[in-house]
Amino acid sequence: MKTDVREMSPSAHARFAGVLYLIIAVAAIFAHMVIPDQFIVAGDPAAMAANIAANESMFRLGTVGNELIILLSEIVLSIVLYVLLKPVNKTLSLIAAVSRLAMTTIHGLNLLNYYFVFQLLNGGSITTAFGPDQVNALVTLFLDAHSIGFAIGIAFLVPHVLILGYLIVKSGYFPKVLGFLFIAAGFGYLFDVAGLLLVSSYTTTPGLIATVIAVAEIAFPIWLLVKGVNLEQWKQHMS
């Protein structure tokens, strides 16, 4: 009996996507939480700048290094998810992929804010134009700009998450509940990004929204890794 390679492909893609989600999640924990928490000193720009200057290599590797891992993984994940969901609706799957790639591009450009920080703290010729207090203020400014740039990138992820949820619901080869979770997460992302970018007093993501997003972003990769794709339903879309 011959093995149909095409029957193996959807499950292989699903598990590959699950691995990429896992890589992104682990790298993001270090890049956005573990490493920054060791350097950021709220309300004390001088101490924060001194922390980064004293441990620049660790800060570079922990933030920029992990960000590069995330960005490269995001590019591949965008394509793999497109392949997985194009049998449901090729156009919507393409829009979702482009949306995620747009976010990835913005987040890549956003890394320039970190390099401005490094230039200021390395004591190059540019720093001679500023006093110590000005350097510290500029370091804070570029770190804040990085946070806002990240939020702008997430704004482009919103269509991806909403469309992904819809395609999962319609697919039949993934559980509908995962799709509904992603739709809820999409509206959560939308509310959060709108607050961060448009409301000056909005600084912290509400716990309920963070929970919904986390559940969706964890449940889907676990399903991809453990269960993969319902091949019978996949074949119906391909026929």
Residue 146 placed within a domain: yes
Q: How far apart are CA 43 and CA 214, in angstroms?
A: 29
Residue 78 belongs to some domain of the structure:
yes
Is residue 3 pLDDT above 50, yes or no? no
Residue 53 lies in a domain: yes
Name the domain count of the chain. 1
In a domain, 74, yes or no: yes
Angle between helices 66-85 and 132-171 (to 10 degrees): 20
The Cα angle at residue 161 between residues 168 and 111, in degrees rounded to 5: 140
pLDDT at 129 over 80: no
- Say yes or no to pLDDT of 8 above 50: no
Q: Is 180 part of any domain?
A: no
- pLDDT bucket at 236, cuts 50 / 70 / 90: confident
Query: The whole model's pTM is what?
Result: 0.90
99 pLDDT tier (thresholds 50, 70, 90): very high
The residue range of the domain holding 13 is 5-153+221-238
Q: Residue 40: inside a domain, yes or no?
A: yes
Q: Does pLDDT of 215 surpass 50?
A: yes
**170, part of any domain:** no
- CA 130 and chain centroid, separation: 35
In a domain, 21, yes or no: yes
